[in-house]
Every structure is written in structure tokens, then in C-alpha cells.
Amino acid sequence: MVKFCLQCKSAFWGGQYCPICPGEIELLDAALPENKKYLAELNIDVRPKYYARSSMLLSCFGFVMALPLGAFVFLRGLASSGNVELWAGIGIGTIVFISWGCWYLSHRLFDKQMEGVEVEDKEPQLD
């Protein structure tokens, strides 16, 4: 859970109060929608981390679902005509197309979300 302090603009891994600022300055949760407007003001940019998550889910979904879908297409085609080479080609084509398509779409999604993020003057948190 990434939290940040509005006073010193630093980001931390959890905690209730800022360990840097004197007094009890409450840390804000970076994942909450009402705090998203402050993310651009922070010293360290945590946005790539959050944007990468949706892209990773999409590419993972593509790689996981491509094989069963390809096998399904191969078996259904085989049951209807018996042409092994044709349906093996179509099945492998389905696997390649879906996994490559999801990888490509996730890349596009990440680039689109990162459009408004200037990384020149900040250190992006990519780990």
C-alpha cells in the first residue's frame, strides 16, 4: 500500500503518520480515488506503478486464456472435419493472435495512461 505525505511530498510503504515531518501529519492512501489528484504533486512518481497493474492483468489474461481457446478451436474443428493440419494451424494461430493481441493492447493501454505523466523532473517508481 503506497501512502504519501502532502507536506513533504514523499511516498512511503504504509504507516499512519509521516516519519519525516514533525508532529502527526496523517498519510494519504495513493490508491483512493479522492487522493489521485495529489499524485502529480509528489516528488516520486508512483503513477507508473498503478498504471502498469491494469496492463499486467490484461497481458496475463491473454497468455492464460490463449491456450485453452486454441485447444478448443482445434478440437471443435477436428470433430467437424477431421483435417488435422488445417485445424492445428488455426488453433496455433488463435493462440498466437490472442496472446500477441493482449500483449499489444496492454502496451497501448499503459502508453495511453502514461500520456499525462512527465517523468523528466521526477524519479518514476517502477519497482
Q: Among residues 42 and 98, whose Cβ is nearest to Zn ion?
A: 42
Q: Among residues 16 and 80, whose Cβ is nearest to Zn ion?
A: 16
Residue 25 Cβ vs Zn ion, minimum distance, rounded to whole Å: 5
Residue 49 Cβ vs Zn ion, minimum distance, rounded to whole Å: 20
What residues contact residue 34 under an 8 Å CB cut-off, 6+ apart? none
Backbone torsions φ then ψ of 71, nearest 5 degrees: -65, -40
Q: Is 4 helix (H, G, I), strand (E, B) or coil?
A: strand
- The amino acid that residue 83 corresponds to is N
CA–CA separation, 11 and 6 (whole Å): 9
CA–CA separation, 50 and 106 (whole Å): 13
Cα 83 to the center of its chain, rounded Å? 40
Residue 17 Cβ vs Zn ion, minimum distance, rounded to whole Å: 9
CB nearest Zn ion: which residue?
A: 5
Q: Among residues 2 and 98, whose Cβ is nearest to Zn ion?
A: 2
Residues engaged in binding Zn ion (CB under 5 A): 5, 7-8, 18, 20-21
Q: Among residues 10 and 113, whose Cβ is nearest to Zn ion?
A: 10
Residue 41 Cβ vs Zn ion, minimum distance, rounded to whole Å: 13
